[in-house]
Amino acid sequence: MSIQIKKIGKLFGRTQVLKDISLDIASGEMVALLGPSGSGKTTLLRIIAGLEQHSHGLLRFHGQDVSRIHAKDRHVGFVFQHYALFRHMTVFDNVAFGLTVMPRKQRPSSQAIKQKVMQLLDMVQLAHLASRYPSQLSGGQKQRVALARALAVEPQILLLDEPFGALDAQVRIELRRWLRQLHDELKFTSVFVTHDQEEAMEVADRIVVMSQGHIEQVGTPDDIWQRPETRFVLEFMGEVNQLHGQIKGSQLHIDGYEFPLHHASAQQGEVDVFLRPWDITLKKDVDEQHRLPVRVIESGPRGHFWQLTVQPIGWGHEPLSVVWQSSHVTPVRGEHYFLGSQQAKIYQGENELLFPQLAKSA
C-alpha cells in the first residue's frame, strides 16, 4: 500500500506544526521520520493513522483520498512507544483483541482467531508466553506483543511511534534487527518515528529528516550520511566539529592560519567550517595540508579505531573529536600533532560554499 502526502499542513491554534509536507512512500517500503523533539514527526505519523486531522493538503493511500476516512477504517496498524497493552488480558488475548472486536460479518471464527494468534506469537518468538500477563514480561517482550497485536488484523500499513525508545540499549539493537527481518519477510509498508540516528540508519530504506515542521532532506541512509543537503542535516546526523573562519579574497583564514581556496569566492566574510571526526588526519610534522597544531588530551580504544579528543594550540577554543584509524602508532595523551582534513564543508549561514580544491590545502 503506497502513501502519497501532498502539501499537508497542521495548525494547533495559531501554531503551525507542519508546513506543506510532501512525501511519496512506495508500497512495501520502510521509512523513518527522523528529527529532534518538536520537529513534527509524530504529528505527521498520527495524521497518516487518522488519529489527527490535517488542516490542509492531501493524503492518499494507493491513490485513494483517505482524509475523511476514520482511523478504524484505514487498515493501519499502530505501535506505541509504551506498548499500550491491556494489563488485565493475557498475551494471547492482547494479540487477539483486534480480531475479536471486528464486526460480526468480518470476524473470524474462534478457531481461526486462535490459529492466527498462535501463528503471530510464533513469529515474534513468544508462543511459550501466551498465558502470561503484561506485568510478567520484559520491555522487549511487551513490544513484541504490541507488534503482534498490530499485525493481527493484517494492516496494509504499519506505523510505529518511537517503538524502541523505552527499552535498554542492547534490547533496542536486537529488536530493530528483528523488525527489519520481519518487514523483509512480510513486505508491509511501514513508517516509524525516531530521534535515534543509528536506529534510522540501520532499519529504514529511506530517511525523512524533519526540523521545525518541514522536511530538510529525504534519502537513503547513505545519501543522508554522505551527502547532507542542508546545514541542519549535517549537524544533526552524527558527530561533527565546528571551526570558525573568514574568507578574504581567495584565502580561508582560521585564527591566523591561511588556506588557499584556488579561486576567489563571491562570498566573503565569516564562515563556519565543519569536519567529521573520521575525516580529520593528524601528522607529527607540519606540511601544506596539516598546519593546525593540537595536543591530545584524551585517547581511548574503540575496537578497530581510537577515539581522540584534541585541544587546539594557539587557535580555536573548543576541543575537537578525532577518529584515529592507524594501526601502526598508538596516540598518547599529551602528544602534539598537526591537524588537516580532505573533507571540510564550509557554510556561510545556511548556505554551503563549494570549493572543489579545498581538499588539497585544508
Are 3-236 and 241-360 the same fold in CATH? no
Specify whether the CB–CB gap between 39 and 213 falls below 8 A.
yes
Closest CA relative to residue 139, chosen from 178, 88, 85: 85
Measured CA to CA, the distance from residue 246 to residue 268 in angstroms comes to: 7
- pLDDT at residue 355 in the model: 65
Q: Which residue has the cell 486531522?
A: 53
- pLDDT at residue 356 in the model: 46
- pLDDT at residue 316 in the model: 85
CA distances for 231 relative to 2, 134, 299, 352, angstroms = 30, 44, 29, 8
- pLDDT at residue 361 in the model: 42
> pLDDT by residue (tens digit) across 92-139?
999 999 899 888 888 999 999 999 999 999 888 899 999 999 999 998
Class of residue 298 by CB neighbours under 10 A (exposed 0-12, middle 13-18, buried 19+): middle
Specify whether the CB–CB gap between 234 and 240 falls below 8 A.
yes
**Tell me, which fold does domain 3-236 have in CATH?**
Rossmann fold (3.40.50)
The superfamily CATH assigns to domain 241-360 is Nucleic acid-binding proteins (2.40.50.140)
Per-residue pLDDT of the chain (362 residues; tens, 9 = 90+): 999 999 999 999 999 999 999 999 999 999 999 999 999 999 999 999 999 999 999 999 999 999 999 998 898 988 887 778 899 999 999 999 989 988 888 899 999 999 999 999 988 889 999 999 999 999 889 988 988 998 888 888 999 998 877 677 887 888 888 888 888 888 889 999 999 999 999 999 999 999 999 999 999 999 999 999 999 999 999 899 999 999 998 888 999 888 888 777 778 899 999 999 999 999 999 988 899 999 999 999 888 889 999 999 999 889 999 999 876 778 899 999 999 887 889 999 999 887 644 444 44
SS3 106: coil
SS3 305: coil
Amino acid at site 192? F
Length of the chain: 362
Q: Could you tell me the residue ranges of all domains in the chain?
A: 3-236, 241-360
- pLDDT at residue 84 in the model: 81
Specify whether the CB–CB gap between 37 and 98 falls below 8 A.
no
294 has which bridge partners?
312, 337
Q: Which residue has the cell 573520521?
A: 278
**Which stretch of DSSP H or E encloses residue 117?**
helix 110-123
- pLDDT at residue 360 in the model: 44
C-beta neighbour count of 101 within 10 angstroms:
10
Closest CA relative to residue 70, chosen from 52, 83, 56, 57: 52
Q: Which residue has the cell 527481518?
A: 181
- pLDDT at residue 197 in the model: 92
